[in-house]
Amino acid sequence: MTANDYLGALTGVRSGKRSYYPEYVRTAERLERAVGALDRISRALVRTGEGPRALVEAVVRAAADHVQADWLLFALADGALRAARPRFLLLAGENLVEDERLFPPDALAHLRILRTRPWEAGEPTGSGVRVPMTLDCEPVGGIAARPAAGMEVADTDLAVLRVLANQAAVALHNSFLVHATMRLRGRTEQLSEAAEQQARDLAARNAELQETQRRLIGVMQRQALDDERHRIARELHDSVTQDVLSAGMMIEICRSDLTEPDADLAAVREKLTEAKALTRHAVERLRAAIYALHHNESEPPGSLPVLLERLSTVHLPTDLEVGVTVLGEPVPLPGEAEHSLLRITGEALFNTVMHTNATRARIRLRYLPDRIRLSISDDGDGDPGQLRRTLRLASATNLAGTHRGLANMRARTEELGGTLAIRRSRIGGIQVLLEIPLPLEAG
């Protein structure tokens, strides 16, 4: 059908001659009815936002009013516009019926065709009228009606019904999209609110976790210092006891020698000098031990450089100068890592105090982009080669005592994924050098 033929079917005008006045009158009446029907169609189809049911009811009433139907059926094909409800609706008089068991037999026959064979909706029918409903050139259902007795249904009326049916299909699809969009928007808002609440909860828990981690690191830092002080105290107790006993024995020998008439005063003076040296050595050890035990957990926690400064004073006797140098931008480390680095540094300093005659010790901490370099150097008379051999022997045979301390230092370094080296320091003694990769993960 061409555009002109379709317009002619809609208006019913086939001739403009006055000799066809009766037909002209009928055409004018049909045109008036068509305009009225289009008006009702437009009012029905703009009810998309009220939901599919309100739209279907409006379409059924507009179509039934146009053809003055005893009954009018609106039906969607099975599988088409799956979300639309109701799938079919019958208007009989003023009653809307959804139960097909209550349908008139002729309406039930049209329902089966529209639901199962919608492509036949446009074919001629023996009873009533029927028009297809299409969407994207595909049949999706149709409208069927039984006009009232004496009602002549012209091509114009069928064209109006087709327009109504097709526009109803588009409106139903749009209604589904509108309501789906509204549901999605509501769901999105709910999800957004839930996400914001979860973000707030996560931020609160993260703050609590950071505070707990800060406290835990502080406790571990204080524990590291306390462990080191206790170890030093035990070591110094043993060494001080030996010095005091040795000095006492020498003094007792001197007193016994002085009772002899021919006592060698020079020999006695030499022994007393040695006893004095032992006493002085014991006093220095005691002073360091007292200082270590005096500083307790009341001290505020600090970063690794600050803790190294504090640790250096724990080992400080009167004749040993300890300096700390920090290079680079300090980065926060896990508490376990700081604990291990403090213990290694403490062990190295204690070895310097106990086993060398060093007067200077230097702690150098350098932060590099991918690693930390920590060195402990002294100016004593230690032999790096001998210490390396001792370390290999201690690791191989699991020796105890001072040799075990060297093995513990290397074990702590390897636990951090780093390396430990013993070499000659630039100031003349021994240098213990550690390199630890970054970043370090909390254990």
Q: Are 403 and 390 in contact (CB under 8 A)?
A: yes
State residue 114's pLDDT score.
92
302-443 homologous superfamily: Histidine kinase-like ATPase, C-terminal domain (3.30.565.10)
pLDDT of residue 299: 45
pLDDT of amino acid 326: 93
pLDDT in tens, the chain (443 residues): 554 454 455 545 454 455 556 666 766 776 776 677 667 667 766 655 566 777 788 888 888 888 889 999 999 999 888 877 888 999 998 899 999 999 999 999 999 999 999 999 888 887 889 999 998 889 999 999 999 887 888 787 888 888 888 877 887 777 777 777 888 888 888 889 889 999 999 999 998 988 888 888 778 777 776 776 676 666 665 666 777 777 778 787 887 777 777 777 888 788 788 877 777 767 666 655 555 555 444 444 457 888 788 776 664 555 678 899 999 998 888 878 888 888 888 888 878 877 788 889 999 999 999 999 999 999 989 899 888 888 888 766 654 444 567 888 888 899 999 999 999 999 999 999 999 998 877 65
Q: What is the pLDDT of residue 47?
A: 58
- Contact status, residue 178 vs residue 48, Cβ threshold 8 Å: yes
Domain 3-182 has CATH 3.40.50.1370: no
Provide the Cα torsion 252, 254, 256, 262; round to 10°.
Answer: 180
What gap in Å lies between CA 31 and CA 155, rounded to an integer?
Answer: 12
Q: What strands lie across the sheet with 88-92, from one edge to the other?
A: 95-97, 88-92, 69-76, 138-147, 129-135
Q: How far apart are CA 423 and CA 430, in angstroms?
A: 6
The domain locations on the chain are 3-182, 302-443
How high is the pLDDT of residue 285? 64
Q: Matching CATH topology for 3-182 and 302-443?
A: no
CA distance 223 to 307: 12
Tell me how far apart the alpha carbons of residues 217 and 229 are, in angstroms, rounded to a whole number: 18
Site of tokens 């002619």: 8
The conformation of residue 135, written as its DSSP 8-state character, comes to E
Q: Residue 146's pLDDT is what?
A: 92
pTM for this one? 0.40
In degrees rounded to 5, what are phi and psi of residue 2?
A: -80, 170
Note the Cα 36 to chain centre separation in Å: 61
